[in-house]
Chain A
Amino acid sequence: MSRDEGPPPKILLAHGSGGRLTYELVRDVFLPELSNPALETLSDAALLPELPPGTRPVLTTDAFVVDPSVFPGGDVGHLSICGTVNDLAVAGAKPLYLTWALILEEGVDGELIAACTRSAARTAREAGVTVVAGDTKVVPHGKGDHLFITTAGLGAIPENRRVGDDRIAAGDAVLVTGPIGDHGATIMAARHRLDAGDLQSDCAPVNGLTEALFAAGLDIHAMHDPTRGGVVTTCNEVARRSGLRILLVEESIPVREEVQTICELLGLEALALPCEGRVLVWLPEEQVEPALAVLRNLQYGTGAQQIGSVEAAAKGSVPVRLRNALGTERPLDLLSGMDLPRIC
């Protein structure tokens, strides 16, 4: 086999054998982009430094099967880093280390793997995380779909920081850090070959936003990234876990016109579309203005808005309601049946 640098033209089953081709793939495609001392040992497991004193470890795992693998505003490599980093960030942690495992389909273009690796590496640098371990498997043609990625993510929460749904109280405000549904609408438009104009996925690491909120000394009660099932699902889950009720105000929820159009064409609800670079934030009402000021000053938070508030539960109330511009209210339920398969 060639010893030239760069990706192979096609992925073969042998690239997952653990033999010479696997080594060449690691050496020519993964290491040049992701290189760091822990990864370079190519050992069975990564030995990590001690966590910063006084912090508690936070661990997450995620899988990425988005179809198509490359979409406006990103690819599955970029998405895999964002998704993992964001799960840690909304838990209040500083993301530190990631593992990155690829399941490749026999016959997929080597250049696709290289491109996804480059974007993963770029996003990892932006988010300040290190990929410390990896794995590659290849499944026969037809048994996978191009490229699936699984990750684990390790972060650390400072001692004095505590976020969780049990801290949410009646009277809290609900913020969103930008327009909702961009990722879901982008993927659906790509899949249905609809012209979505300049619409791009919102896929981005949000730890810059969450750390800025903490740095400003704000009393953040809870945060979540509205991925699968979107704002509707996240709010329903929060209402259930906290035992409280959430009222969203339709005209204050930022939705791009392109997203609204795609929803109308495909019969989707923007509020149920996944975001991959947005955060929902619960915090005391009186801290809304300072929090919005912090967020709007940052690249991924320029579109931040308050979209609703938390209420005490009352007899007969539904977990989440939406009030429209006419002042009438309707329940916002969890999706029934299938939502959008393979959106992330």
Chain B
Amino acid sequence: MSDAVLKDARTISSLVAKIGAVVGQRDRPLAFMEVCGTHTHAIASAGLRRLLPKGIRLVSGPGCPVCVTPVGYLDHAVALGSRPGTTLCTFGDLYRVPSSHGSLELLAASGGRVRIVYSARDSLDVARERPSEDVIFLSIGFETTTPTIAAVLEEAEREGLANFRILVGNKTIPSALRAIARDPETQLDGLLLPGHVSVITGWHVYRFLADELQLPAVVSGFAPAEITRAILELVQQATTGRAEVVNQYARVVTAEGNRVAQDLVDRYFEPADATWRGLGSITGSGLALREQWARRDAGRVDIEFPEPEEPAGCRCGDVLKGLIDPPQCPLFGTRCTPDAPVGACMVSSEGSCAAWYRHERLGLELPGRADTQQGG
């Protein structure tokens, strides 16, 4: 075992003890929402939820870009990819997400051209290799991903790659946080703010949480000890009636963020209303290509597809708003598993259902799962 790991374990134990002392006995647990898929994954894989005292409830917010992508976007992508002479390029996470009547995986199996790329830039190579094809990158992601897509558009422009377009599904986190925090259904006591997104946005964009909505908020890194330290700060604020935005990830997050990246995004994109799975339409929470770049916009291709259908019984929406924990969905672990996902939250490794299923289902009563030993 490395010394660093041991040291981390000791730090976490002492932080957890402090949290227990501050939180004390409560009628209703303090509910803190993390809004970054990487936090969701880190919390689940380290088992932090089970280490924390009962007075703390960690809920996952809309921090996984794949999970908040509405079914209609996938239907649109599948419709575009079904046209002859089209190659879709996508991040792997989106590949298996069910659309209304299929998925990108099924499209590929039926002869459609779908390429999985690790970065948006790889899709430019596809466009270069296939000059006679219409190459469409499925552009989803938050503030962390969007600058790389803007950079790719810049490269395509410079090179004059006429056959490269994107289907824009990009979203911005602060407006979504505002909508969730204002929703009377969600009774949050604080927010664990995303580390990576904040590198780009800077932490000042979150000041409204404390100033207008009186919510404690902490920008945190991703190591289990960093997350535990952020939770301690949230508990201290919540139990003393304070509300501040605290930056505990100062080694990479500044007040103003990365201006170069912001400017690059601004050159290609402008704010637009966007539909979030589970949250509905949120004003100004998405991006659209500026009119000047209309020729790069695969969304402007004249194509029809039927009204999207959300999978029956799937409670992704309630999970994304933090109203229920994944195991409270009747499909969790029975009809919906990572092998046969019904909703997006079970597909992406950053999705809260997948994180719960993969890391936190020990001790849960889940009938009928093939891989659980039912007898001795």
Please give the residue numbers on chain A whose beta carbons come within 8 Å of chain B beta carbons, in ascending order: 192, 245, 251-252, 266-267, 312-319, 321, 324-326, 328-331, 333-334, 336-338
Q: Are B47 and A321 neighbours in the complex by a CB distance under 8 Å?
A: no
Residue of B nearest to A236 (CB): B371
Stretch at the interface among B145-153, B166-174, B295-303, B358-366: B358-366
A326 pairs with B360, CB closer than 8 A = no
- B2 near A251 (CB under 8 angstroms)? yes
Task: Knowing A251-B1, A252-B1, say if A315 contacts B374 (CB, 8 Å).
Answer: yes
Contact status of A319 and B12, CB under 8 A, knowing A267-B349, A330-B358: no
Among B3-11, B134-142, B230-238, B242-250, the one that faces the other chain is B3-11
In the complex, residue of chain B having the shortest beta-carbon distance to the beta carbon of A313: B373
Q: Which residues of chain A have C-beta atoms less than 8 A from B105's C-beta? A: 337
B96 neighbours in A (Cβ, 8 Å) = 336-337
Closest CB in chain B relative to A312 CB, distance in Å = 8
In the complex, the answer to whether B358 meets A333 with C-beta atoms within 8 Å is yes
Note all chain B residues with C-beta closer than 8 A to A321: 362
Instruction: For A245, list chain B residues within 8 Å (CB).
Output: 373
Q: A318: which B residues are within 8 A, CB to CB?
A: 361-362, 371-373
Query: Is B338 engaged at the interface, CB distance under 8 Å to the other chain?
Result: yes
| Contact pattern, B 93-125, Cβ under 8 Å of A = 1, otherwise 0 | 001100000000100000000000010000000
A252 to B6, CA, bound (A): 12
| From B2, B92, B224, contact of A326 by CB (8 A) | B224
**Chain B residues, CB < 8 A from A251:** 1-2, 5-6
* Docked-complex contact B1 and A326, CB < 8 angstroms: no
Whether A316 lies near B45 (C-beta < 8 A) is: no
The answer to whether A325 touches B6 (Cβ under 8 A) is yes
Contact across chains for A325 and B1 when beta carbons are under 8 A apart: yes
24 contacts between A and B (CB under 8 A): A245-B373, A251-B1, A266-B118, A315-B374, A315-B375, A316-B363, A316-B372, A318-B362, A318-B371, A318-B372, A319-B373, A324-B47, A325-B9, A326-B13, A328-B48, A329-B47, A330-B44, A330-B360, A331-B359, A333-B358, A336-B96, A336-B339, A337-B105, A337-B338
Task: Give B6's nearest chain A residue, CB to CB.
Answer: A325
A330 touches B359 (CB 8 A): yes
Task: Give chain A residues whose Cβ lies under 8 Å from the Cβ of B6.
Answer: 251, 325
- Cβ of B158 < 8 Å from any Cβ of A? no
Residues of chain B within 8 A (CB-CB) of A312 are 376
CB contact between B372 and one of A317, A329, A334, A338 (< 8 Å): that residue: A317
B-side contacts of A333, CB under 8 Å: 338, 358, 371
Any A CB within 8 A of the CB of B50: yes
- Out of A252, A325, A330, name the residue touching B8 (CB < 8 Å): A325
**Which one, B2, B339, B349, B362, contacts A329 given CB within 8 A?**
B362
Complex-state Cα separation, A334 to B371, whole angstroms: 10
> B342-362: which residues lie under 8 A (CB-CB) from chain A?
349, 358-362
Closest to A330 in B: B359
CB of B46 within 8 Å of the partner chain = yes
Given contacts A315-B374, A326-B12, A331-B362, contact A192 B118 (CB under 8 A): yes
Given A318-B362, A336-B338, A337-B96, A328–B373 Cβ distance below 8 Å?
no
- A329–B373 CA distance with the chains assembled, in angstroms: 17
**Does chain A have a CB within 8 A of B213?**
no
Q: Which residue of A is nearest B222, CB measured?
A: A264
Q: Which residues of B contact A338 (CB under 8 A)?
A: 92, 95
> Given contacts A192-B118, A325-B9, A336-B339, is CB(A330)–CB(B45) below 8 Å?
yes
Distance between A240 CB and nearest chain B CB, rounded to angstroms: 9
Nearest CB in chain A: distance from B221 CB, A: 13
Q: With the chains together, A325 CA to B12 CA distance in Å?
A: 10
Closest approach, in angstroms, between the C-beta of B26 and any C-beta of chain A?
A: 23
Residues of A within 8 A of B371 (CB): 318-319, 333-334
Complex Cα–Cα for A97 and B324 (A): 60
B191 CB to closest chain A CB (Å) equals: 24
Contact A326 B46, beta carbon cutoff 8 Å: yes
A336 to B47 alpha-carbon distance, docked (Å): 21
Q: Report the separation of the CA atoms of residues A17 and B286 in the bound assembly, to the nearest whole angstrom.
A: 59
Please tell me if the beta carbons of A314 and B359 are within 8 angstroms of each other in the complex: no
C-alpha spacing A318/B363, complex, angstroms? 10
Q: Do A317 and B349 have beta carbons less than 8 Å apart?
A: no
Chain A residues with Cβ under 8 A from B294's Cβ? none
Closest residue of chain B to A341 (Cβ to Cβ) is B116
Q: Give the CA-CA distance A324 to B43 in the complex, in Å.
A: 13
Q: Is the CB of A315 within 8 A of B376?
A: yes
Contacts of A317 in B (CB 8 A): 372-373
Kindly state whether residue B79 has any CB partner on chain A within 8 Å.
no
* Closest Cβ–Cβ distance, residue B335 to chain A (whole Å): 15
Q: Which residues of A contact B48 (CB under 8 A)?
A: 328
B373 and A331 contacting across the interface, CB-CB below 8 Å: no
B252 touches A (CB below 8 Å): no
Counting chain B CB atoms within 10 Å of each CB, which of A251, A317, A337 scores highest?
Answer: A337
CB neighbours (8 Å) of A267 from chain B are 349
Add 17 more A-B contacts to A315-B376, A318-B372 (CB < 8 A): A266-B118, A314-B373, A316-B372, A317-B373, A318-B361, A325-B6, A325-B8, A326-B13, A328-B48, A330-B45, A330-B47, A330-B358, A330-B362, A331-B361, A333-B358, A334-B371, A337-B338
User: Of B5, B92, B375, which one neighbours A325 at CB under 8 angstroms?
Assistant: B5
> Considering the chains assembled together, what is the distance between the CA atoms of A334 and B369 in angstroms?
14
Residues of B within 8 A of A325 (CB): 1, 5-6, 8-9
Interchain nearest-CB distance for B47 vs A (Å): 3
Bound-state CA distance A336–B9 (Å) is 30
Q: Is B51 an interface residue (CB 8 A)?
A: yes
Most buried by B among A315, A336, A337: A336
Residues of B within 8 A of A328 (CB): 46-48, 50-51
**CB closest chain-A residue, reference B50:** A328
The residues of A that contact B50 with a CB separation of less than 8 Å are 328
Which residues on the A side are within 8 Å of B372 (C-beta)?
Answer: 316-318
Q: Mark B3-46, 1 if CB is under 8 A from A, else 0.
A: 00110110011000000000000000000000000000000111
Inter-chain contact A326/B362, CB cutoff 8 Å: no
CB distance from B69 to the nearest CB of A (A): 17
Nearest to B361 among chain A residues (CB) is A331
Closest 7 CB pairs of A and B: A328-B47, A251-B1, A336-B338, A330-B359, A325-B9, A313-B373, A325-B5
